[in-house]
Amino acid sequence: MKTDPMRPSDEEYTLPPTEALLAGTLALMTGCAQHTGPVRQRELMVGKVVSNLTELSQHPALSAPMRLLLGRLSARWLLELGSAAAPSPGLTPMPEHRTLQ
pTM here is 0.69
Going from N- to C-terminal start, the domains of the chain cover 44-84
Report whether pLDDT(2) > 50.
yes
Instruction: Give per-residue pLDDT as tens, 14-69.
Output: 889 999 999 999 999 999 989 888 888 989 999 999 999 999 999 999 999 999 99
Task: List Cβ neighbours of 8 (8 Å cut-off, separation of 6 or more).
Answer: 14
pLDDT attached to residue 30? 94
In angstroms, the Cα distances linking 100 to 2, 59, 83, 89 are 38, 7, 28, 31
Q: Is residue 96's pLDDT more than 80?
A: no
Task: Categorize the per-residue pLDDT at 82 as very low, low, confident or very high, splitting at 50, 70 and 90.
Answer: confident
